[in-house]
Structure 1
Amino acid sequence: MPRPRKFRESDVISSAGEVFAVRGLAAATLDDLVRATGLGKQSLYNAFGGKRELFFRALSEDREEATRAVSEALGHDGASPLERIRGHLLTMAIEFSSSDRRVSLTTRALVESTGEEDPLSTATKAGIEQLAGVYARCLEHARENGDLAEDVNVQSLALYFVAVTRGMELLGRAGVGRGVLTAVALDALRALRGQRMEEAGDRPSVRE
């Protein structure tokens, strides 16, 4: 008779996800995962099948969490679609500039992806498409409201905001400050509204 498990899978996946987000799939070792989760190597194998399988479980959970967060930020709250995007981007500028914030596993996987037809690239593309779908729905509402031109490419703009937010996250991890990230967020909105960047005035330096 098998012994009952004395751990919660969700806790193990969350702890493993933090390891993978910091070290990446290739660099993370089983010893790292053992220390982070409190499980022995054999228990990890028995429960999850190995390091790669645990990585993809953690990546899937992180992707779903990221999608839920963006969906909530862009949900209907009485504000216009573009106002919701603006609030979302400014919130991201604050969060990503936090000195103790790690890069999400979704973004780490994006950086490590080779673009080849392998499981990591496939999972990364799925994450991008999932996030882009959330932005696309909000942008479609903006177009219906007349805030965007009828001929605007909503899918392209949605991917643009995925690129902007993932880029902001990486810049924040590299030490770029809140002022610069806020400027990036506002310039992204100006681009959306068709305004020229030079009309925005002076921008803070990367060191600010």
Structure 2
Amino acid sequence: MPRPRKFVESEVVRSAREVFAVHGLAAATLDDLVRATGLGKQSLYNAFGGKRELFLRALSEDREEATRAVSEALGHDDASPLERIRGHMLLMAIEFSSSDRRVSLTTRALVESTGEDDPLSTTPKAGIEQLAGTYAQCLEHARENGDLPADANVQSLAFYFVAVTRGMELLGRAGVGRSVLTAVALDALRVLHGRRMEEAVEEADDGPSTRE
């Protein structure tokens, strides 16, 4: 009979995620993974099928975690939809400017993918669509509240937010500071929502609205 596994797969994947976040798929070595996970090379192969398969497993978990984080940030009912998006963008500026912030595996995978049919491309694409769907829900609520024009293209705006936040991530990785990333976030909001967004921001800064 085969011996029972003496490790927790989720913990191994979590450790591997750290390695891949630092090195990427191509540059990460099996020795790096062995040191991080505490498993031997053969055990890694037996459990996950190889380095690439382990990366894809880590990528899927990274994607789900990112989607949950955005959903939680935009899902609170104690603020208007636009206030939630604004707070989320400002938080991203802080996180992406952190010196110990790791590049997401989604970004790593897109850089290293070889084409549209490569799982390194298709898996991140699914994650991007999930993120866009989360933004779209919040933007739709904003439109229903009258904070966005009735003819606003919620779907394209949702992907716009994904593009801006992924760009902020890369800028932060390149060493761009928090003040610049904050300005990028606020400028993106102003360009996106125009006067209506600026009014919402002013109301959020000044306190509860006094309008009837």
Shift of 1:3: 1.4
Contact 2:139/2:154 (8 A) holds in 1? yes
What residue is the counterpart of 2:202 in the other structure? none
Shift of 1:107: 2.2
Shift of 1:78: 1.7
Deviates more, 1:62-71 or 1:118-127: 118-127
Contact 1:18/1:105 (8 A) holds in 2? no
Superposed, 1:63-78 pairs within 5 Å as 63-78=63-78
Contact 2:63/2:124 (8 A) holds in 1? no
Shift of 1:99: 0.8
Superposed, 1:1-208 pairs within 5 Å as 1-194=1-194
Unaligned segments of structure 2, at least 5 residues: 196-212
Shift of 1:115: 4.3
CA distance in 2, matches of 1:163, 1:32: 31
Shift of 1:188: 0.9
SS in 1 for 2:194: coil
Cα distance 1:145–1:114, how it changes in 2: closer, same or farther (>3 A)?
A: farther
CA distance in 2, matches of 1:145, 1:110: 36
Contact 1:113/1:124 (8 A) holds in 2? no
CA distance in 1, matches of 2:10, 2:117: 29
Contact 2:73/2:88 (8 A) holds in 1? yes
Cα distance 1:71–1:108, how it changes in 2: closer, same or farther (>3 A)?
A: same
Shift of 1:116: 2.5
CA distance in 1, matches of 2:144, 2:192: 15
Moved over 4 A (4+): none
SS in 2 for 1:194: helix
CA distance in 1, matches of 2:106, 2:150: 32
Q: Let me know the Cα RMSD of the aligned residues.
A: 1.2
Contact 1:97/1:175 (8 A) holds in 2? yes
SS in 2 for 1:193: helix
Give the count of matched residue pairs: 195
Shift of 1:22: 1.6
CA distance in 2, matches of 1:158, 1:149: 15
CA distance in 2, matches of 1:76, 1:96: 22
Contact 2:81/2:138 (8 A) holds in 1? yes
What residue is the counterpart of 1:199 in the other structure? none
CA distance in 1, matches of 2:115, 2:79: 37
Contact 1:128/1:162 (8 A) holds in 2? yes
CA distance in 2, matches of 1:4, 1:61: 24
